[in-house]
A and B are shown apart, each in its own frame.
Chain A
Amino acid sequence: MKVGIPRALLYYWYGFTWRTFWEEAGTEVVVSAPTERSTVTVGSKASVDELCLPIKIFLGHVRQVAHQADWVMIPHLIKVEAGAYLCPKFIGLPDIVAHACPDLRDKCFTVTVGRNHLDMFQSLKRSALRLGIPERQIPRELKANNRLPALYELAKAGYPRQPEAEGGRLRIGILGHPYCIYDRCFNLDIFDKLNGLDVDIFTPEMMPEHMAGLGSGQLNKELFWTLGRSQFDALEWMLGKLKVDGFIHLSPFACGPEAMIGDMLERRIRRAGLPILKLFFEEHSGEAGMITRLEAFIDLIRYRSRVC
């Protein structure tokens, strides 16, 4: 039996956890290939125009992996921590998939990613039983390795890099949702572009875990989006500890939460007197435009650090 996992959305946090579980349960796991232009095309064809690019990419991956696997796992992301939700589109993800790909309804099953590991483990166990896997085969525990896929993607891109002797490289903090940062097709391979510009980059997932909650805890009102909280934590880390030289914010076009979070991040970064480049991505994003702006931004920071 083959279980397919779409390489999209919070796969970049929980993907390896899921994969390990299904492999230990004795199934063959197929993870969809990294996003390509064709994935985006397939996904946008299936969905209404108003959906954001990450969801369209997700639908593309569902379609792709459905060809290779007997079952497709749809993560149902409501709350992954206490007191905070994910985007309403994630909460309705099983419904979106059911209506965007009605022909795949019999192939898809839902796994609820709960507030802690136990919730996710139970949900996975229930799905495994429903797929007819005998109980003795189901693993007794869930190996916790959150965010590992993200770090793996970073390592593939060569980060974190060896520090240079006389601290010459610029440090750039990258903010955004994990599926915006690590999906190379989504962000037109920004790692590669920044590598070429010889700067060091830092992402929210590189933050040591004990710093979680420090940045978002300073907010006036508790933030109720997990992916917003992680960015405020990262901002605190990057401003306070890393002392980065500038920020790049990646977000999908017309992203709901990011419209608010991005604005509040920008205000804080401005108050700290640092430059920020905000990049919005959608199906029609062009590479040339992005490269020009990246180069100009990095040049500006270099010039700034020489002057100040």
Chain B
Amino acid sequence: MLKATFPHIGNSYIPFRTLLTELGLDPVIPPPITQRTISLGTQIAPEFACFPLKVNLGNYIEAIEKGAEMILMAGGVGPCRFGYYGEVQREILRDAGYSVEFFVLEAPKTHPRELWEKIKRVFPRHRAPDLLRAVRKAWVKADALDRFDRMANHVRAREEKKGEVSRLQNRFYQQLDQADSMGEIRRVADGFLEELKAVPVRKESQPLRIRLVGEIYMVLEPSVNFHIERVLGEMGVDVERTIYFTDWVKETLLKSIYDPNWREPLLAVARPYLKNFVGGHGLETVAHTVEAGVNRYDGVIQLAPFTCMPEIVAMQVLPAVSRDLDIPYLTLIIDEHAAEAGIMTRLEAFIDLLYYHRNSQGGGKAGEAVSGY
């Protein structure tokens, strides 16, 4: 069987493994992202390319070391740089001396048939029922992951024993990854959701509510954002991530096919501040920050890779949103030089500021002057 690999993005390797196996390929999951991955990628990537491109390259190299023969990657049509990743990465790998087939999946330019021909060439099991079953199985897994993660962030902020939710989460990822049949997937998903609900929580606490916005890769991939969700959660902060993999597929991929105006609601929300779609998640960042302000969240954290163009446009706009709607925000720009200590210091300072902000507004209770970590 052909050994295929793909870059890491959050926990999406779990549904992707299922998808590729069902389609008759032998998936090689790149080892978890470490400092070595990042430095391998940085060595051969252009200096000012965005951080995800460099980490992707590191993933490819480590997967090739594990025997991968083909790389699967998504493409796009801009204006964000992600759309051209595939082409640039292909050339970089070739010039660096790696012989590997590079397969970019993207929307067909001329006729849907083009995509179909591609799929037929790469996947050994490409009959319609096979495809349907594979996609359905992978989707159920992806959906289960996102449902669990969404709830885990709420529970983590309130858990009695620190780290309990994170341990449960790791166990859930492992078992879901191993689950094979549809019934087993459902059983694992439901069982762990029940377990999560049963985690003992502090009833009286009113944790800070923070929204996580920004560039999709930095938000979804914990090993490049220094596990920001876990860290904040264990500081007693209720983190609401605004980007989930299944949401992205539903909105950006599917809606853009049948509903050309799917961005209208976002544009309407962001309108007083940003009137244009600027590629990537720039518009989403602004819209979700406005929403957070209107809904009285305690703060917003924006994650962006260094030199990310859409997020830079958002950065120019966010101060006005923050001022008008009285919503504090923190921008974290991350690249291969970002250090954990620096990020932690800024997060802790930001959380302190949010507690102060909440108390000075009279929203908090008397005993809550001390932050929760």
A residues in contact with B264, CB < 8 Å: none
B313 close to A256 (CB less than 8 A): no
- Bound complex: CA of A262 vs CA of B46, how far in Å? 9
Interface residues on A, range: 35 or more
When the two chains form their complex, are residues B49 and A89 in contact, meaning their CB atoms are under 8 A apart? no
Q: Are B47 and A256 in contact (CB under 8 A)?
A: no
Interface positions, chain B 65-112, Cβ under 8 Å from A, are: 75, 77-81, 83-84, 86-88, 90-92, 95, 104, 109
Question: What is the bound-complex CA distance between A174 and B75, given in angstroms?
Answer: 30
Interface contact B316-A219, CB-CB below 8 Å: no
Q: Return B306 CB to nearest CB of chain A, in Å.
A: 7
In Å, the complex CA distance between A222 and B84 comes to 9
Q: Are A267 and B48 in contact (CB under 8 A)?
A: no
- Beta-carbon contact of B79 and A86 below 8 Å: yes
Whether a CB of chain A sits under 8 angstroms from the CB of B297 is no
A254 within 8 A of B: yes
Segment from A14-22, A90-98, A117-125, A187-195 that makes contact with B: A90-98
* Known contacts A88-B310, A221-B87, A224-B79: A256-B50 contact under CB 8 Å: yes
Q: Does B282 contact A (CB under 8 A)?
A: yes
* Least CB distance, B307 to chain A, in whole angstroms: 4
**Interface: B343 (CB within 8 A):** no
Q: Is the CB of B84 within 8 A of A100?
A: no
Query: Quick one: CB contact mask for A203-228 with B, threshold 8 Å, 1 for yes?
Result: 00000000000000001111111000
Among candidates B78, B92, B312, residue contacting A225 with C-beta atoms closer than 8 Å? B78
Q: Is A242 part of the binding interface, using a Cβ–Cβ cutoff of 8 Å?
A: no
Q: Are B91 and A267 in contact (CB under 8 A)?
A: yes
Question: Which of A47-55, A154-162, A175-183, A283-291 is the contact stretch?
Answer: A47-55
With a CB–CB cut-off of 8 A, which chain A residues contact B274? 92, 95
Are A220 and B278 in contact, with the CB atoms below 8 A?
no
Judge whether A67 is part of the interface by a CB distance below 8 angstroms: no
B101 to chain A, nearest CB (A): 14
In this assembly, does B315 line the interface, its C-beta being within 8 Å of a C-beta of chain A? Answer: yes
Looking at B48, B88, B276, B316, which has the most chain A CB atoms within 10 Å of its CB? B316
Using Cβ atoms and an 8 Å threshold, which residues of chain B touch A223? 84
B313 touches A221 (CB 8 A): no
* Nearest CB of chain A from residue B354's CB, rounded to whole Å: 22
A48 and B49: CB pair below 8 A? no
Nearest-neighbor residue (CB-CB) of A85 within chain B: B79
Asked if residues B50 and A259 are in contact (CB atoms below 8 Å), the reply is yes
Nearest chain B residue, comparing its CB with the CB of A224: B78
Interchain CB contact under 8 A, A99 and B316: yes
With contacts A89-B309, A267-B95 taken as known, whether A96 is within 8 angstroms of B316 at the C-beta atoms is yes
Asked if A259 meets B279 with Cβ closer than 8 Å, knowing A51-B312, A221-B86, A254-B48, the reply is: no
Contact residues in B for A255 (Cβ distance below 8 Å):
48, 307
B249 contacts A by Cβ under 8 Å: no
Is B199 engaged at the interface, CB distance under 8 Å to the other chain? no
Contact B84 A260 (CB under 8 A): yes
Residues of A contacting B109 in the complex (Cβ-Cβ under 8 angstroms): 222
How many whole Å from B327's CB to the nearest CB in chain A? 16
Q: Which residues of B contact A50 (CB under 8 A)?
A: 307, 312, 315, 333
A91: contacting residue among B46, B49, B79, B306, CB under 8 A: B79
Are A259 and B48 also in contact (CB < 8 A) when A50-B333, A94-B275 are? yes
**B319 interfacial contact with A, CB 8 Å:** yes
- Does residue A129 face the partner (Cβ distance < 8 Å to B)? no
A139 within 8 A of B: no
Contact indicator A221/B306 (Cβ below 8 Å): no
A224: chain B residues at CB < 8 Å are 77-79, 83-84
Residue A264 is within 8 A (CB to CB) of chain B in the complex: yes
Pairwise interchain contact A221-B84, C-beta atoms closer than 8 A: yes
Interface pair B47/A259, CB less than 8 Å apart: yes
Which 4 residue pairs are nearest across A and B when measured between Cβ atoms? A224-B78, A85-B79, A259-B48, A263-B46
Listed A/B pairs (20) with beta-carbon separation below 8 Å: A85-B279, A92-B274, A95-B273, A95-B278, A95-B317, A99-B319, A219-B87, A220-B90, A221-B87, A221-B104, A224-B83, A254-B307, A255-B48, A256-B308, A259-B47, A259-B48, A260-B49, A260-B81, A260-B88, A264-B91
